[in-house]
Amino acid sequence: MNIDYSQEAPAVAGRLTLAEIEELVAKPLDTRPDKKYFIALSISGSALMIGAICLALSFYYGLGLWGNNQPIGWAFDIVNFVFWVGIGHAGTLISAILFLLRQKWRTGIARFAEAMTIFAVMCAGIFPAIHTGRPWLDGYLLPYPNQHSLWVNFTSPLLWDVFAVSTYFTVSLVFWYIGLIPDFATLRDRTSSKIKKTIYSLFSLGWRHSSRHWQHYEKSYMLLAGFATPLVLSVHTIVSFDFAVSILPGWHTTIFPPYFVAGAIFSGFAMVVTVLVFVRKIFDLENIITMDHLEKMNKVILATGMMVGYAYGMEFFIAWYSGVQAEQFVFVNRAFGPYAWAYWIMVSCNVIFPQLFWVKKFRRSIPVMMVVVILVNVGMWFERFVITVTSLHRDFLPSSWAYYTPTLYDFGILIGSFGLFFTLVILFTKSLPVVSISEVKAVAEGAQPSHHGGVVNA
């Protein structure tokens, strides 16, 4: 295994021609789904139904079916919300930040990661909505003139959340759709089915691959990337404010915003790798989503994993250094109290196992990668659990201390959110191009003029 890191690996391997790239990406859309597809869809669909049934029962009988109770008022619902919002961050990071940094390798994975962002934010959005207990009244979260002549509290982080998550979803969706327009046009021009052609025409808006349009298109992509970058940082920052702006020991921490953002990228990349490993295999995309790309993502996972580890350590240091007894108690209780098991699952999954990626061989090994990223997913879910539940379960009044145990409904809704996510991912792979055709074509070998704008003999 000798890889020359001094030279950038080509973004598209195997010297594919433009037509071959298009053929490869469009193939899943042209062929009928096979048996395996339906098996996968039925599994994820069943998980989704479990969640739907648990939710329906929760609304009918009330949230007493969940494990939340005083003093642990925030539990699975908020844990899952933060977890899913975090998953979403990888997509925007890949599509916007890596775009601004001119990382060509992003093209192969950007579309899929953006789709995962949208699906993850959809999953995330469910939780604060159901946390209110009567989600059909969630319109009250928006500032609108009403008969109570009341307004929402603009100084509350929970209200900032409403704005941040809804803006994030809208901007991600728009960004994703802008990327899809040229691909819809390409699909429109290659399909022979009349129904598909109508649908693709509708969504392509009549795109003609005109250079006069490409000029504005590239500009808009740049502007959107410029906005999405601070946006993605703001979203998890604001999510962390939900905790950090309170005065609860364990939550009231200035390190939370950067720590949450690093954790979000960490968990998001882990989820992207988890899914892409399957996708590249199933849809023969090994030349477009190459091992080099996966390796680069593993490096990001290693780096952000260590940032998260640093934050774990720093929280303890500050608890000791500040000399605040309540703070010290919370952190000792976190690591050695009744929820020590959760804390140590978190530390080992997020800090210890990713260290395997220091070794090049492990970074480029699919089985090792799979084990590590799944552990990271588990670890990051537990991180949110540890932050939320352990800070609450032993509050200032020892007589009200309690131990939180989730009920079957809590687990059902968690399973349901995974069901929703994977159902959407599976449907996406067969209905839209999972890789951006026009972007990958643009970074293929020989796709750009030998020197920009230079006159070459015709």
Range 77-136, binding other proteins (CB under 8 A): 134, 136
Could you say whether residue 144 binds other proteins (CB under 8 A)?
no
Could you say whether residue 218 binds other proteins (CB under 8 A)?
yes
* Angle made by CA atoms 257, 259, 260, in degrees to the nearest 5: 65
We find the least distance from the C-beta atom of residue 229 to other proteins, in angstroms, to be 10
Identify which of residues 218 and 286 has a Cβ nearer to other proteins in the complex.
Answer: 218
Among 31, 46, 69, 153, binds other proteins (CB under 8 A): 153
Contact in structure between 105 and 436 (CB atoms under 8 Å): no
What is the footprint of other proteins within residues 231-250 (CB under 8 A)? 231, 234, 238, 241
Identify which of residues 206 and 398 has a Cβ nearer to other proteins in the complex.
Answer: 206
Among 24, 87, 164, 288, binds other proteins (CB under 8 A): 164
We find the least distance from the C-beta atom of residue 193 to other proteins, in angstroms, to be 14
Q: Which amino acid is at 377?
A: N
We find the least distance from the C-beta atom of residue 18 to other proteins, in angstroms, to be 4
What is the footprint of other proteins within residues 261-280 (CB under 8 A)? none
Neighbours of 339 (CB within 10 A): 22
Could you say whether residue 408 binds other proteins (CB under 8 A)?
no
Identify which of residues 142 and 332 has a Cβ nearer to other proteins in the complex.
Answer: 142
Identify which of residues 152 and 340 has a Cβ nearer to other proteins in the complex.
Answer: 152
Contact in structure between 70 and 64 (CB atoms under 8 Å): no
We find the least distance from the C-beta atom of residue 78 to other proteins, in angstroms, to be 19
Give how far Cα 32 sits from Cα of 280, 283, 430, Å.
18, 13, 9
Could you say whether residue 66 binds other proteins (CB under 8 A)?
no
Identify which of residues 191 and 298 has a Cβ nearer to other proteins in the complex.
Answer: 191
Beta-carbon contacts of residue 60 (< 8 Å; ≥ 6 apart): none
We find the least distance from the C-beta atom of residue 96 to other proteins, in angstroms, to be 11
Please give the size of the binding site for other proteins, defined by CB under 8 A.
77
Beta-carbon contacts of residue 322 (< 8 Å; ≥ 6 apart): none
Kindly state the tokens that stand for 433: 């191009």
We find the least distance from the C-beta atom of residue 160 to other proteins, in angstroms, to be 4
Identify which of residues 94 and 275 has a Cβ nearer to other proteins in the complex.
Answer: 94
Q: Which amino acid is at 171?
A: V
Identify which of residues 3 and 223 has a Cβ nearer to other proteins in the complex.
Answer: 223
For residue 356, the 8-state DSSP code is: G
Could you say whether residue 400 binds other proteins (CB under 8 A)?
no
Could you say whether residue 230 binds other proteins (CB under 8 A)?
yes
DSSP-derived secondary structure for 17-57: -HHHHHHHHHHHHHSPP-HHHHHHHHHHHHHHHHHHHHHHH
Closest by alpha carbon to 295, among 318, 277, 282? 277
We find the least distance from the C-beta atom of residue 197 to other proteins, in angstroms, to be 9
The crossing angle, in degrees rounded to 10, of helices 408-431 and 76-92 is 20
- What binding mask, one character per residue, do residues 370-399 give for other proteins by CB under 8 A, x or -? ------------------------------
What is the footprint of other proteins within residues 18-57 (CB under 8 A)? 18-19, 22
- What binding mask, one character per residue, do residues 165-204 give for other proteins by CB under 8 A, x or -? --x--xx--xx--x---x--xx-xxx----------xx-x
Could you say whether residue 70 binds other proteins (CB under 8 A)?
no
Neighbours of 355 (CB within 10 A): 14
Could you say whether residue 455 binds other proteins (CB under 8 A)?
yes
Contact in structure between 323 and 248 (CB atoms under 8 Å): no
Rounded Cα gap, residues 148 and 14, in angstroms: 65
Rounded Cα gap, residues 73 and 31, in angstroms: 49
Taking the alpha carbons of 362, 365, 371, 372 in that order, is the dihedral positive or negative? positive
Rounded Cα gap, residues 98 and 85, in angstroms: 19
User: How many Å from the N-terminal Cα to the C-terminal Cα in the chain?
Assistant: 43
Among 140, 151, 336, 403, binds other proteins (CB under 8 A): 151
We find the least distance from the C-beta atom of residue 231 to other proteins, in angstroms, to be 5
